[in-house]
Chains A and B, each alone.
Chain A
Amino acid sequence: MDKRISLLVDGEERTLTVDTRTTLLDSLRDRLGVTSPKKGCDHGQCGACTVLLGGRRVNSCLVLAVAHDGAEVVTAAGLGGGGGELHPVQEAFLARDALQCGFCTPGQVCSAVGMLQEAATGQPSHVTADPGRAVELDDAEIRERMSGNLCRCGAYVNIVAAIRDAADPGRTSGTASAGARP
């Protein structure tokens, strides 16, 4: 069953005809050639496919493209805007060497950008001691909020450090420890 939809992908208007069965992830990768979101588990368990859909982080493998006609999608490739610039979260991942093979990284950085926004608006997490107050993103908060993104290389220590840096750039030099570049 085919349907015509349009999506705003990384700032670019894209129109395509999709079979209703097509996920947003497959539409991006196979139909539009936007390959930064990765297909890891394809069941919403690994987070490698994470994109920002209407500004919120979601698993694009569980989203039917046909249900999001007209939506704005930002992938890791579009996080920095045009011109090849990197988003501060991506810069922090580089500075902290927060990856090994890199397969999970596009999902990690999209998830981190969405998560930082959620924390900035005061959304509590499972480990927030005092919900309703401003969120302080300590390591326990970052780990809990990023639990939907798996890294099978186990680069978690530096992923947490990178996100901590991005959350509070002023603290970067003071907290540089594991894995910081010389």
Chain B
Amino acid sequence: MSIKGKAFIAGAYEHPDREIPGKSPAQVHAEVALGALADAGLSLSDVDAYFCAGDAPGFGTISMAEYLGLGLSYMDSTETGGSSYVVHVGHAAAAIAAGKCQVALITLAGLPRSGDFGRPPFGGAPEGAFENVFGPTVLGMYALAAQRHMYEFGTTSEQLAAIKVAASHHAQHNSRAFLQDVITIEDVLQSPLVSDPLHRLDCCVITDGGGALLVVSPEVARDLDRQCVKVLGEGEAPKHTNNGRIDLTHTGALWSGPRAFREAGLTPADIDYASIYDSFTITVLETIEDLGFCEKGKGGSFVMDGALHAPHGKLPFNTDGGGLCNNHPANRGGMTKVIEAVRQLRGEAHPKVQVPDCSLALAHGTGGSLGTRMGSATLILGREDA
């Protein structure tokens, strides 16, 4: 039993704004839901399954089903941080394959740029008292991973900076991107050190926004005019501190990646385009190693010389500008990773960054922190005829 070919992404929508004052989180969830439905040529009354994560207000699936007027036969509020929406695609495909539903709606929305940080996370976490008293910051926890990766493999700040530079080259073509200027490695290195060895420009943007996806059965996909994208495989894994034996040099992609490739019957060499979770530059570096695009420890040399640049690099990545430059709505980047992979497979990325004849794509999510614990998810998608 696998999900390969059993479900299709029929609708994908990214909220156009990066700062959304004057709207509620529920309203933005609804706006992106309607956007994805319009993209697919479906309506709210067609939806029989709904997926949302920790960014959804109130009672999650229940509150949003009420707000949107949804009657549902299936719901899932799996919360793995920013990777949740990658997981949701896999879970939706599995539910469709099992005959539980036909049209699954997935939404994300949040307004951190406008000062609304949503529901407080991690209340009562058993590990909390042993960590939060020492002043960990979001960036600091990734800096710990970067420092150790540098120590073990000789990775440099220049190599990390090259990842941001590649994202900026893509973002210049995205008129909605939060940061649209092309920058250089020097620009990154000269930006302030916030938590050694990471600089301000090693970070993603903080944006309001949201996105939505519609995952549908093959029967529903067949009747739609819109070009759909085939779900080929999904893998997921938690990675945590492992009883105090944390290894900071890899992510959960080490486990989620092979599961997804196995289900899809593909290898990293088959992938034409990759959306790689990019909360920080080090997140990308470790993930491309873990997914098998290069050897462990060789990510630094891999990303130099334009490897990540679309359309002709070895591994064109994050052609919307990614979280590093375009959008990181609700501090959760998994949704936009899937959306840009869908654009590439439909041939609807910006012409300057559209990968020619793109037929197989990967979207990877990392939710939580490289420095402690994360939920990792890898999704492999193909063109409708893949």
Do chains A and B interact in one complex?
Answer: no
Binding site for A on B (CB under 8 A): none
Binding site for B on A (CB under 8 A): none
